[in-house]
């Protein structure tokens, strides 16, 4: 418990935990102040996501390489998953899809770019492991293609094609999860030396005991679910009064909030000239969204949602996600970085955000 408090004391991000009781109290006292609740929920999820990934890592460290790697890989995007499941339950399909596509774009453009930018402001030119960067970006590219291809390829007429799209999405989800399993086999078993990063452990000189870690994991998961519910139920009304569309909230806000914890790790690694770690966090997380989180959501939609969800994204989302993956591939190909490369990645992200803010996808887009 002392350790947990110490962690909180030294990690400014966790001071934001104060917003957790605030949002719960807000829900009690002013259940109709949607905008306030929305903002409080966003602020509360950030530190919870941070705790969640700390706890996951702690459990992973204690349980040995193989199971630990599996845990890290599976629960790494737990926050995004919980928010998306809550949105699924509420039937907010546009929010779910936007948060899937947005998480890929945010991780591969903003997280990667800001890491390059922050690292580059301190170091003139930074080098990182080309082989690792390439492997991750190849994984990301192919995961993205597999996720988006149906939407780009299939010319489904919505009126008569909903059943088709559903059938296709279910089949593809099973394929994607199988590929994800093979990827784990590859990165944790047969070729784990390619993914090894010497730096990884150093960050935590002192690790939590297993019991504390597991309890934290469970408690925080429940709290994230709770706050997510407030978030999802307030998002539409809050969006209306703030003048932002569900697509923008999902694509930009949920993605930034869900990834905030990983971002602080990636950015601090970049500032310490450990770009290998930043690249693997950013691109690893993006490919996990495509290969694991998205298909799991499709399969869960049969149990959780009012109706099954498919993998048809609106055309703009397909374009943005594809561009992000291809750009990440080009950029990481060289194994070198300077501040301007990072600035340009962040800048493309800003272009996308601005486009989505000014021109939200029309109501005729497939939900």
Which residues pair with residue 201 across a beta bridge? none
User: Alpha-carbon distance 179 to 194, whole Å?
Assistant: 18
**Rounded to the nearest whole angstrom, what is the least distance from the CB of residue 28 to its own copies in the complex?**
40
**Rounded to the nearest whole angstrom, what is the least distance from the CB of residue 64 to its own copies in the complex?**
23
Name which of 116 and 231 has its Cβ closer to its own copies: 116
Which residues pair with residue 336 across a beta bridge? 127
Name which of 139 and 224 has its Cβ closer to its own copies: 139
Binding site for its own copies (CB under 8 A): 124-125, 131, 134, 138-139, 141-142, 145-146, 149-150, 152-157, 161, 164-165, 167-168, 171-172, 175, 179, 182-183, 186, 190-191, 194, 314-316, 319-320, 323, 326-327, 329-331, 333-334, 336, 338-341, 343-345, 347-348, 350-352, 354-356, 358-359, 361-362, 365
Residues 68 and 59 sit within 8 Å (Cβ to Cβ): yes
Residue 116: closest CA among 361, 355, 345, 364: 345
DSSP string, 308-357: -------HHHHHHHHHHHHHHHHHHTSSEE-HHHHHHHHHHHHHHHHHHH
**Rounded to the nearest whole angstrom, what is the least distance from the CB of residue 213 to its own copies in the complex?**
30
**Rounded to the nearest whole angstrom, what is the least distance from the CB of residue 330 to its own copies in the complex?**
6
Residue 332: closest CA among 269, 258, 268, 281: 281
**Rounded to the nearest whole angstrom, what is the least distance from the CB of residue 351 to its own copies in the complex?**
5
Name which of 56 and 287 has its Cβ closer to its own copies: 287
Name which of 35 and 319 has its Cβ closer to its own copies: 319
Name which of 163 and 210 has its Cβ closer to its own copies: 163
List CB contacts of 328: < 8 A, sequence separation 6 or more. Answer: 108, 109, 112, 137, 140, 141, 283, 286
The count of other CB atoms within 10 Å of the CB of residue 197 is: 16
**Rounded to the nearest whole angstrom, what is the least distance from the CB of residue 82 to its own copies in the complex?**
27
**Rounded to the nearest whole angstrom, what is the least distance from the CB of residue 359 to its own copies in the complex?**
4
Name which of 144 and 234 has its Cβ closer to its own copies: 144
Name which of 201 and 315 has its Cβ closer to its own copies: 315
Q: 361: which DSSP letter?
A: P
Which residues pair with residue 252 across a beta bridge? none
């Amino acid at each position: 418990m002392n350790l947990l408090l110490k962690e909180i004391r030294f990690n400014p991000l966790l001071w934001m935990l104060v917003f957790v009781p605030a949002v719960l109290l807000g829900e009690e006292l002013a259940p109709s102040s949607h905008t306030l609740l929305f903002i409080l929920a966003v602020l509360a999820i950030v530190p919870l996501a941070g705790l969640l990934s700390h706890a996951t890592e702690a459990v992973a460290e204690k349980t040995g390489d193989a199971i630990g790697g599996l845990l890290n890989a599976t629960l790494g995007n737990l926050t995004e998953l919980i928010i998306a499941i809550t949105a699924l339950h509420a039937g907010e399909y546009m929010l779910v899809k936007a948060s899937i596509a947005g998480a890929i774009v945010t991780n591969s453009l903003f997280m990667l770019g800001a890491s390059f930018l922050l690292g580059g402001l301190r170091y003139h030119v930074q080098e990182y492991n080309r082989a690792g960067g390439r492997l991750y970006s190849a994984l990301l590219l192919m995961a993205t293609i597999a996720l988006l291809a149906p939407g780009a390829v299939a010319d489904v007429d919505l009126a008569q094609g909903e059943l088709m799209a559903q059938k296709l999405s279910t089949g593809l989800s099973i394929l994607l999860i199988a590929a994800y399993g093979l990827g784990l086999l590859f990165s944790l078993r047969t070729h784990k030396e390619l993914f090894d990063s010497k730096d990884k452990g150093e960050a935590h000189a002192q690790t939590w005991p297993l019991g504390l870690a597991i309890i934290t994991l469970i408690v925080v998961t429940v709290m994230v679910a709770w706050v997510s519910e407030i978030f999802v139920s307030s998002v539409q009304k809050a969006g209306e009064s703030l003048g932002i569309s569900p697509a923008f909230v999902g694509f930009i806000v949920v993605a930034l909030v869900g990834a905030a914890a990983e971002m602080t790790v990636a950015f601090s690694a970049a500032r310490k000239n450990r770009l290998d770690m930043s690249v693997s966090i950013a691109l690893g997380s993006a490919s996990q969204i495509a290969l694991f989180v998205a298909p799991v959501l499709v399969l869960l939609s049969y149990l959780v949602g009012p109706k099954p969800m498919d993998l048809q994204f609106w055309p703009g989302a397909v374009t943005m996600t594809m561009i992000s993956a291809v750009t990440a591939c080009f950029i990481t190909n060289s194994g070198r970085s300077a501040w301007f490369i990072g600035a340009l990645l962040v800048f493309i992200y800003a272009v996308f955000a601005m486009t989505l803010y000014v021109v939200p996808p029309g109501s005729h887009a497939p939900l």
